[in-house]
Structure 1
């Protein structure tokens, strides 16, 4: 049974040894920063050292944590435990037996290898340690929970439609998503609505493009065309718009013939696979082939092959809204 305390990254706090595990670097960075800021707030004389685990040499841990002449509190941050030296493993295990008073040692391991397992196991059974697990945020549901928690932590409310708009605007980068949440938290609105999100981020090409694609895939041709025209009117270039919509169609094509494939084998995030499977309802082999061909034509048009690239985009939006089939074929 593990003796180390296990806490959520939002509750990161100092301990003799703080083990920050898991692949989500953004969350790990925030947890480590919270520990540092807490210690700094307790004593401005805090002495801070940061080292890389791969560069560690025997005795360094003892040297950096030994009490100084004036007994200042200390913080030692050791990053890259997944690449640690043998010396750090042995010194770390010994340190866990008798950690130095008024000293916090933070050890960061991203889980990319089993290197340092012996030290990790020792940390997890140590009563002197706290573990903060920073699991990767990949699934759409996890991202929704992250956004909701950011606002709940600040005792603020955000509407479900606003959450969806934020996730559409910041599809890949959790750091950008967190930054957007922080900016919205400074807004005076009691509840963050979709219109508030659009006011801040509606001009992002990514937001407009994915909204256009989502409306078309939902069969809402009129809404998709309206969004497309709004995107163009607010300065969006046709090339990235076509690229974003094409990405959605390529994801459908990847899933169509292999619906049981793992996200890893498809080169997609789990939430993207879940979304594509839902969007595929009603599509046929012929319809998908037509959509892929139409996107290629629209891409060429956007890059100068035709005089009116917007018309080509409108045509492909109509086609996608009709599951890739012309109205005459229905």
Structure 2
């Protein structure tokens, strides 16, 4: 059985195929959510094909003393060792009661035997292939706006795709933000107001450079974003998200990003990126950063006479907070 990434049902075996990271993360999250609808206390365990041994996998799925239900998520099965691949294929023939196995394979010939074994074993197959064509991205954005409870039209959707580009995460974030900022009606005027000009410049571009301590790059991105019409409130929101994300990731010690994803409620890619940025931040610096973005939020929503100046000052202050100044 093959289904789309947004219609994941509960199954003892779920195979997530493809390499569109956003859709893969969503498919896994929905499979876990389906299990938790059956039992809110279900345990989640994570592993990766590259770092998991056959014995460790056996431990992950082994029946517990009190038969507590669990979800076992294995990512990157294409990188599994020969022994692990054999163990996975054997498990498919005799799955453990009360265990839901969710396995991700990006596609290709490497360890394709695992895919074949799950498919023959009756696994629910969720396809998450790259979205590369313009009409596919347009369909995706239209669905994202509807998912967020908004209304739109073909002209507005096309304008948003042209403004943002091909990054699905950016498109999803922009669609969600537009629905929130417009009260639900996303038309071409709203898209042009918030997103126009160079597609690759966004609030997240400014935030990433700021949180990484690249003051020159952050200010350049900020001025370009403002120059092409990106709304100050969107840039402020992105800066606040950057500070919050780094703060939350910094507070969790140890563990791989896939295991942390469930605890923090964010995708592994975002955790990995935040970990890289967090190396230059101290707890005191992050506390100061939270105060800076809180003040900025008020400034861009009417308190400041010049929101653009408030943004530039906030960027400078955040980089200085990172440097302990």
State the TM-score, normalizing by the size of structure 1.
0.57
Q: How does 1:75-114 map to 2 (within 5 A)?
A: 75-111=71-107, 113-114=108-109
Give the superposition deviation at 1:104.
Answer: 1.1
Aligned to 2:110: 115
Give the superposition deviation at 1:233.
Answer: 12
Does 1:206 find its partner at 2:206?
A: no
**Do the aligned residues in 1 keep the contact of 2:5 with 2:128 (CA within 8 Å)?**
yes
Structure 1 residue ranges, 4+ long, deviating more than 6 angstroms after superposition: none
Give the superposition deviation at 1:25.
Answer: 1.3
Residues 168 and 207 of structure 1, relative CA distance in 2, 3 Å threshold: farther
Give the superposition deviation at 1:126.
Answer: 1.4
Does 1:158 find its partner at 2:176?
A: no
**Do the aligned residues in 1 keep the contact of 2:156 with 2:188 (CA within 8 Å)?**
yes
Aligned to 2:227: 235
Q: Residue 129 of structure 2: SS of its match in structure 1?
A: coil
Give the superposition deviation at 1:40.
Answer: 3.1
Does 1:147 find its partner at 2:141?
A: yes
Paired with 1:6 and 1:119, the residues of 2 have a C-alpha distance of 16
Which runs of no fewer than 5 residues in structure 1 stay unpaired?
209-230, 238-330
Which runs of no fewer than 5 residues in structure 2 stay unpaired?
202-222, 230-325
Structure showing greater radius of gyration is 1
Give the superposition deviation at 1:41.
Answer: 4.0
Q: Residue 44 of structure 2: SS of its match in structure 1?
A: strand
Number of residues of Structure 1 aligned to a counterpart in Structure 2: 209
Does 1:57 find its partner at 2:53?
A: yes
Of 65-74 and 82-91, the range deviating more from structure 2: 65-74
Give the superposition deviation at 1:115.
Answer: 1.6
User: What RMSD in Å do the two structures reach over aligned CA positions?
Assistant: 2.7
Give the superposition deviation at 1:207.
Answer: 8.2
Does 1:179 find its partner at 2:152?
A: no
State the TM-score, normalizing by the size of structure 2.
0.58
Q: Residue 104 of structure 2: SS of its match in structure 1?
A: strand
Give the superposition deviation at 1:39.
Answer: 2.4
**Do the aligned residues in 2 keep the contact of 1:81 with 1:115 (CA within 8 Å)?**
no
**Do the aligned residues in 1 keep the contact of 2:43 with 2:71 (CA within 8 Å)?**
yes
